[in-house]
Amino acid sequence: MTTLCAPPAALRVATVGNPNVGKSSLINALSGANLQVGNWPGTTVERLSVHFRWNEREIDWIDLPGTYSLAGATSEEKITRDELLHHPPDVIVNVVDAANLERNLGLTLELCELGRPMLVVLNLVDEARANGVTIDVPSLARELGVEVVETVASTGIGCEEVKSALVRARPPGWHVSYPEFLQDAARSVQSEHGDASFWQAITWLSEDVAGLNVPAGVLQRRQQLEQIQDPFLSVAEARLSAARGLAGETEQRLNQGPSLTERIDRVLLHRLLGLPLFLLGMLLVFRFTYLFSDPWIGFLDVVKTVLSGWVACLHLPGLLQSFLVHGALDGAGTVAAFSPVLFLLYFALAFLEGSGLLARTTFLFDQVMKWVGLPGRSLIPLLLGFGCNVPAVYSTRILPHFSDRLRVALAIPFMACSARLTVFVLFAAVFFPRHGAVVVLSLYALGLALGLLTAFLTRRLVPAETDQTGIMELPSYRLPSWRAVIRQAWLRTRSFLKDAGGPILGAVLLVWFLHQVPPGPMDRSLYARVSQALTVPLEPLGVHDWRLAGALMPGFIAKEVVVGTLAVSYLGDDPVQPCGFLEGLGQLAGGLGTALKETLLAVPQLVGLPTLPDDSSPQGLQAALGRAVTPAAAYAYLVFLLLYTPCVATLAATRSEFGNRWAFFSLLWQLSVAWLCGWAAYRFWPWP
Amino acid sequence: MLENRKTCLVTPEQSDNPVVHTQMTLADLHIGGHGTIAELNGPRPFIRRLMALGVKPGSPVRLVRVAPLGDPLHIQLGPLNLSIRRQEAHQVTVSSA
């Protein structure tokens, strides 16, 4: 007789481990192209998961945020704890850093007390070996009562063994020996509350953990126990000696000289060299970003020109052609043009995080940031803002507390991004030909100062979280898995394109529409009318020309667009060159070749300081601008442009991370500050 | 409640021995100086975090360096490297090695 049974449900596996042990390398190594990235509901903490098939078994693998203890209080640690208690997985995969066994075992022992089938993945064995550490794996497996698999996740070594060990996982046999009074109490609590794990029972009896509700009867038991001996201390001491003992038995350490990490730290964290080296490093990151993104932005421009040319060949009615070329294609081009810079900045950020350099930054700048009341880590998002505000806002996720993230996000739009630089350079060439660099630098400094001031003033705005400790781990330096870094950068870029693509395209179409209605010369268009209305509040800044005020509208979409808009406003529309299909293909191929060539040529140029780009605006624009406004008003205009609003993409990012209310606040705050500073600049301009 | 009660976590040997060791804290170590973690003082969540990160009574500790502006401190406990603010370092006493 044959029985037809339903296939076993997917095996739910969760990885749990300390931060920086390589859990994300592991999931990247296992997942191929199927990695799913999202957020934990209601938070901005990243959630990685993958579904794959192994040996006819479906596996649902989820990566839980790094945690030092199941009783941890940070938002990431709460997520991990909640997930393990409320949605217990079928198998817990505990990823352990082989170079740091004793500390990692603290979490392992807590996990054992959950009573679920478990598997220990001993990762970073290559690093451990390099530091003279060997672990007696069979002995460790025997003591814990679970299988232990050695891996080097960043290269994929050991990952197949992990997969095969999943189905063999069983509950651990290890028990920490607590004092008898505590052990008995925990056992009886467990039997009273049928589905409670031993960990829950002993935690209820020993400490208060956020989000872990203690049943009333157990609270009384705890108070009784406190009369005998503080359970918190007993538990801590018992676990301490258990971890120490287990590590002592299974770990062998050879005393070696200073590790590579120590030697690098001697230079990078040097008392005198540290800060300047860090700043040099950031300059290098920016140079890297611009050198490698420039060729590809150029290529995207070629694509747009070719596509416009093909549209022109179709000989469509004027309005439709204009809509397609100057509306849709322009909009799509503006969105696409963000991607090279974003991808590279995200790449740099992911590398900083994975390599251990981010933690060093925090160490170096903790004191400086304390003056504005922010943690040292905040420096990175602020500095990224000088490249592009959008990844900077998303990068505030590296800060654990909401209040910090918000305050940094409110300060970020003041950082002069690379797009604003194009406008600065143009105006500097026209109005301040001999002092261009100084003028531009003054604008950058003004932005930074106002940003820090904003962070300082907003301290009272959002209640700061309690449990703000400054203790932080400085992980060993390592090369992060390239696959993980590239994938992380790509996924973040893609999610930007999805979120901000719509608003940007919509805004471009709106501006196009304003230009077209009513048909006729531009001076009579709706765009001109609106611009004239916008000029009114800018008159106290010395700006009387509607074309300058009007350019601020597309500037809201993306600051790069300002120069092009000014060119069109003063010089008229550039006629679209029609081009044949084959001709277009040729141009695309040529453009691609140029981009690749320039990218390769950029490699040797990597080391050097970023220089002020040359003004590349069309001829005649400089002359037209020179007639339009005085130097004082030009500077005021630049100040206003520097500060007035975050671009649509940044606003969308702020909205998605912090909600409508704060995005709106950010907008209003910037407008006010921009107007005040622009007015002050015009009013108190000492030079002619 | 218990959460804010100041706690003092010591090694079992120390709780037996009534002799007072040198009341030196982490913040008092010289750069490059060694010690052994003696007591963890402060609110429960703080102690829990210290221990979870690896700062435990009985562990040998070394002050590696101080950040360029004087704060925080870089301490080393075996294979672990931690950054700790001076204010918090005052709550961890060490005995001379």
pLDDT in tens, B70-84: 889 999 998 899 999
Mean pLDDT of A557-579: 79
Mean pLDDT of A242-271: 86
Would you state the pLDDT for residue A611?
64
The B residues from 16 to 35 touching A (CB cutoff 8 Å) are none
DSSP string of A353-385, one letter each residue: HHHTHHHHHHHHHHHHHHTTT--GGGHHHHHHT
Mean pLDDT of A332-359: 88
On the question of pLDDT at A84 being above 90, the answer is yes
Q: Report chain A residues whose CB lies below 8 A from the CB of B57.
A: 240
Q: Smallest CA–CA separation between A103 and chain B, in Å?
A: 5
Would you state the pLDDT for residue A464?
66
Backbone phi, then psi, for A129, in 5-degree steps?
A: -60, -40
What are A243's two structure tokens?
A: 């971890």
What are A664's two structure tokens?
A: 């709106």
Would you state the pLDDT for residue A610?
61
Task: Reply yes or no: is the peptide bond before residue B72 cis, omega within 30 of 0.
Answer: yes
Q: Report chain A residues whose CB lies below 8 A from the CB of B49.
A: 68, 72-73, 467, 469, 471
Q: Report chain A residues whose CB lies below 8 A from the CB of B79.
A: 99-100, 131, 133
Would you state the pLDDT for residue A683?
87
Would you state the pLDDT for residue B2?
36
pLDDT digits (tens, 9 = 90+) for A281-300: 888 887 888 788 888 888 99
- Mean pLDDT (chain A, rounded): 86
Name the most confidently modeled range: A76-90, A571-585, A593-607.
A76-90
Asked if A471 has any chain B CB less than 8 Å from its own CB, the reply is: yes
Q: Tell me the C-alpha to C-alpha distance, in Å, between residue A244 and each of A96, A103, A104, A459, B7.
A: 15, 9, 11, 42, 22
Would you state the pLDDT for residue A213?
82
Instruction: Answer positive or negative: Cα dihedral of A291, A293, A295, A298.
Output: negative
pLDDT digits (tens, 9 = 90+) for A129-150: 888 889 999 999 999 999 999 9
In this complex, the residue of A102, A364, A472 whose CB is nearest that of residue B82 is A472
In this complex, the residue of A133, A275, A467 whose CB is nearest that of residue B68 is A275
Rounded CA-CA distance A665/A411 in Å is 12
Kindly indicate the confidence band of residue A494, based on its pLDDT and cuts at 50, 70 and 90: confident
What are A97's two structure tokens?
A: 């850093």
Q: Give the single-character DSSP code of A269.
A: T
Name residues whose C-beta falls within 8 Å of residue A452's C-beta, 6 or more positions apart in sequence.
Answer: A372, A411
Q: Report chain B residues whose CB lies below 8 A from the CB of A106.
A: 51-52, 54
Q: Give the single-character DSSP code of A170.
A: B
Rounded CA-CA distance A20/A17 in Å is 9
Kindly indicate the confidence band of residue B61, based on its pLDDT and cuts at 50, 70 and 90: very high
Kindly indicate the confidence band of residue B63, based on its pLDDT and cuts at 50, 70 and 90: very high
pLDDT digits (tens, 9 = 90+) for A7-48: 677 889 999 999 989 888 888 888 777 788 777 887 778 888
What are A591's two structure tokens?
A: 């453009």
DSSP string of A471-511, one letter each residue: -EE-PPP-PPPHHHHHHHHHHHHHHHHHHHHHHHHHHHHHH
> Can you give the pTM of this predicted structure?
0.84
Which strand (E) or helix (H) includes residue A133? Answer: strand A133-135
Q: Report chain B residues whose CB lies below 8 A from the CB of A207.
A: 2-3, 44, 48
Mean pLDDT of A345-359: 88
Would you state the pLDDT for residue B8?
61
Contact B88 A470 (CB under 8 A): yes
In this complex, the residue of B50, B58, B72 whose CB is nearest that of residue A363 is B72
Kindly indicate the confidence band of residue A615, based on its pLDDT and cuts at 50, 70 and 90: low
Rounded CA-CA distance B87/A263 in Å is 27
Query: Testing the interface with B: which of A219, A264, A362, A471 to mutate, by most B Cβ within 10 A?
Result: A471
pLDDT digits (tens, 9 = 90+) for A431-452: 887 777 788 888 888 999 999 9
Using a pLDDT cut of 90, give the percent of chain A over it.
Answer: 18
Asked if A20 has any chain B CB less than 8 Å from its own CB, the reply is: no
Q: How big, in percent rounded to 5, are the helix, strand and coil portions of chain B?
A: 25, 35, 35
Q: Smallest CA–CA separation between B22 and chain A, in Å?
A: 22
Among the residues of A32-100, which ranges form H helices?
A: 75-86
Asked if B97 has any chain A CB less than 8 Å from its own CB, the reply is: no
On the question of pLDDT at B11 being above 60, the answer is no
Contact A72 B49 (CB under 8 A): yes
**Residue B8 bridge partners (DSSP):** B41
- For A364, the closest chain B residue by CA position comes to B67
Mean pLDDT of A569-583: 79
CB neighbours of residue A241 within 10 Å: 17
Q: Tell me the C-alpha to C-alpha distance, in Å, between residue A198 and each of A93, A118, A185, A229, A308.
A: 19, 15, 11, 20, 68
On the question of pLDDT at B1 being above 60, the answer is no
Relative to beta strand A36-39, strand A147-150 is unpaired
Question: Of A293-297, A467-471, A618-622, which gets the smallest average pLDDT?
Answer: A467-471
Would you state the pLDDT for residue B10?
61
CB neighbours of residue A631 within 10 Å: 17
Mean pLDDT of A357-370: 87
Mean pLDDT of A656-677: 91
Rounded CA-CA distance A11/A81 in Å is 20
More confident residue, B31 or A2: B31
Would you state the pLDDT for residue A2?
64
Question: Of A36-40, A376-380, A462-466, A676-680, which gets the smallest average pLDDT?
Answer: A462-466
What are A436's two structure tokens?
A: 């261009």
Q: Smallest CA–CA separation between A561 and chain B, in Å?
A: 42
